[in-house]
A and B are shown apart, each in its own frame.
Chain A
Amino acid sequence: MIQVINLYKAFGNKKVLAGVNLEIKKGESMVVIGGSGSGKSVLIKHIIGLLKPDKGSIIIAGKDMAKLKGGDVDNLRKKFGMLFQGAALFDSLSVWENVGFALKQHTMLSDKEIRAVAGEKLKMVGLAGIEDMMPVDLSGGMRKRVGLARAIAMDPEILLYDEPTTGLDPIMADVINDLIIEMREKLKVTSVAITHDMVSAYKIADRIAMLYEGKIVEVGTPDEIKHTKNPLVKQFITGSAVGPIKVG
């Protein structure tokens, strides 16, 4: 479904991605782990075409996101839903207008129908009844969940989650984990999630990939990752300051 092939990206002379290869199968839930600043968000932004690679391709449903232009990019993007790391809610729109934004742009539904769909999605993320609030009045965790509701509003085939559980309390984090699992089981979505939260990673992942120094250094099922011999991965999943990973 998604194939990242030999992806390179540098900002100025700062090399962020240096030959990333990753394949995500249809219906699979892939979790990408890696240190802060390792380029996880940059990778996910390439998948949805917000960033153009210096080299390499991103094949989605047979099309290369890196080479498409204008309207073709938009058509491909309609398959996606994305949750941003900081939620990226539109400040000037109310919660239901945020959640229903893509419906308003790309369907003929009336405002009343959009509101109803938004209400349904909000209920799924545990936020029923906040349709008329403004994003500035929400807590960080609520913003994240509204962002998630917005990402699933169009019932996308592919979901990208940038740190879906960061900043949530453990119980709410687990609600989101269950929701991500439900999206995969019921709606058969293909998903890529970024996280630091290993509890969440083990729970939601079919496979886990670790990004380090611009490359994917290991891919495996949660079980394989737990019992890995790779010292880089071992250090990361046990959260140890001592090991081969250079800090800072």
Chain B
Amino acid sequence: MNWLEDIGLAVAHFIEEMGRIMVFFIETLLWLFRPPLYLRNIFKQMEEIGVNSVGVVIIMASFTGMVLALQSYTGFKRFNAESLVGTVVALSMTRELGPVLTGLIVAGRAGASMAAELGTMRVTEQIDALATMATNPIKYLAVPRVIAGFIMLPLLTIISNMLGIFGGYLVGVKVLDANPVVYMRRSFDYLEMNDVFSGLFKAAIFGLIIAVISCYKGFYAAGGAEGVGKATTGAVVISMMLILISDYFLTAILF
């Protein structure tokens, strides 16, 4: 019966951790609405999370759009619906792949570096030092990151969407010999504003998840360099899982 006990313990730990994450999240929200707003920190984090992720996002999105075009062409040819390739690419990118893949990539890049930075600050007592100088660490460190995540993820997703559609267009027109004008029309004729906005809304939530989880993991890091490593891995794994899980429920409930 040992394994049952192990599973029970693991579940209990997981629930306990989720509880502590909720408390941390609520605390962050409360500080969000209290002055002062550390604008300099917010801009720095927007650069860290957003600007510095543009490169990977561009590569990820263009290749996703390209492969999407190839794959859907192969499938749709079987029932003579090749002309819908552009539509499929545009819809899948804006509704689903743009926000989710961007979220996963940012979790791996910015989430990891956030958890590592804050974890190091924790184990070298920099977070304590902030507190001794009468500056609330959640306000000073976590709030700017959460704001930046919430704003930058939708912006990165817009870039993803455009490049994904463009990648699909390139493959459609240059490789699969589609008519450029028809391909473009097909891409946008069936695309509704709601498709785009629902994707951007999800992205904002993913940004929130990444920032809150990574800050939480960093703040509660313990045990030197090894602890920081664990916090970093934990931040990435938990953010990615929560992105995928919340993606399903957001899609099911809202759209």
In the complex, identify which listed stretch (A81-89, A115-123, A195-203, A234-242) lies at the interface while the others stay far away.
A81-89
Chain A residues whose CB sits within 8 angstroms of the CB of B117 once the complex forms: 92
Query: Of the candidates B120, B124, B129, B136, which one forms a contact with A82 in the assembled complex, judged by CB atoms under 8 Å apart?
Result: B129
Q: Is A91 touching B126 in the complex (CB atoms < 8 A)?
A: yes
Chain B residues whose CB sits within 8 angstroms of the CB of A96 once the complex forms: none
- C-alpha gap A106/B136 in the complex (Å): 12
- C-alpha gap A77/B120 in the complex (Å): 24
Chain A residues whose CB sits within 8 angstroms of the CB of B245 once the complex forms: none
Q: CB within 8 Å of B: which of A68-113?
A: 74-75, 77-78, 80, 82, 84-86, 88-92, 101-102, 105-106
Query: Of the candidates B126, B132, B135, which one forms a contact with A48 in the assembled complex, judged by CB atoms under 8 Å apart?
Result: B132
- C-alpha gap A90/B135 in the complex (Å): 13
Q: Indicate if A63 sits at the interface (CB-CB under 8 A).
A: no
Q: Indicate if B125 sits at the interface (CB-CB under 8 A).
A: yes
Q: How many chain A residues touch the partner (CB < 8 A)?
A: 21
Question: Closest residue to A98 on the B side, CB-wise?
Answer: B129
Chain B residues whose CB sits within 8 angstroms of the CB of A86 once the complex forms: 124-125
Q: Which of B133, B134, B136 has the most CB of A within 10 A?
A: B133
Q: Is A78 touching B134 in the complex (CB atoms < 8 A)?
A: yes
Chain A residues whose CB sits within 8 angstroms of the CB of B124 once the complex forms: 86, 88, 91
Query: Of the candidates A75, A88, A91, A101, which one forms a contact with B128 in the assembled complex, judged by CB atoms under 8 Å apart?
Result: A88
Query: Of the candidates B126, B128, B136, which one forms a contact with A50 in the assembled complex, judged by CB atoms under 8 Å apart?
Result: B128
Known: A88-B125, A88-B126. A50 touches B132 (CB 8 A): yes
Interface of chain B: mostly helix, strand, loop or mixed = helix
- C-alpha gap A88/B124 in the complex (Å): 6
- C-alpha gap A48/B129 in the complex (Å): 11
Q: Is A105 touching B135 in the complex (CB atoms < 8 A)?
A: yes
Q: Indicate if B131 sits at the interface (CB-CB under 8 A).
A: yes
Chain A residues whose CB sits within 8 angstroms of the CB of B134 once the complex forms: 74-75, 77-78, 102, 105-106
CB distance from B93 to the nearest CB of A (A): 36
Chain A residues whose CB sits within 8 angstroms of the CB of B126 once the complex forms: 88-91
Chain B residues whose CB sits within 8 angstroms of the CB of A48 once the complex forms: 132
Chain B residues whose CB sits within 8 angstroms of the CB of A102 once the complex forms: 133-135
Q: Indicate if A45 sits at the interface (CB-CB under 8 A).
A: yes
Question: Closest residue to A79 on the B side, CB-wise?
Answer: B134
Per-position contact with A for B106-140: 1 when CB-CB < 8 Å, else 0?
00000000000100110011101111111110000
Q: Is A91 touching B120 in the complex (CB atoms < 8 A)?
A: yes
Per-position contact with B for A35-58: 1 when CB-CB < 8 Å, else 0?
000000000010010100000000
- C-alpha gap A129/B155 in the complex (Å): 42
B residues engaging A (CB < 8 A)? 117, 120-121, 124-126, 128-136
A residues engaging B (CB < 8 A)? 45, 48, 50, 74-75, 77-78, 80, 82, 84-86, 88-92, 101-102, 105-106
New A-B contacts (20) at CB < 8 Å, excluding given A88-B124, A102-B134: A48-B132, A50-B131, A74-B135, A74-B136, A77-B131, A78-B134, A84-B129, A85-B125, A88-B125, A88-B126, A88-B128, A90-B121, A90-B126, A90-B129, A90-B130, A91-B124, A91-B126, A101-B133, A105-B133, A105-B134
A-B CB contact pairs (8 Å), 12 listed? A45-B128, A48-B132, A78-B134, A82-B129, A82-B132, A86-B124, A88-B126, A90-B129, A91-B121, A91-B124, A102-B135, A105-B134
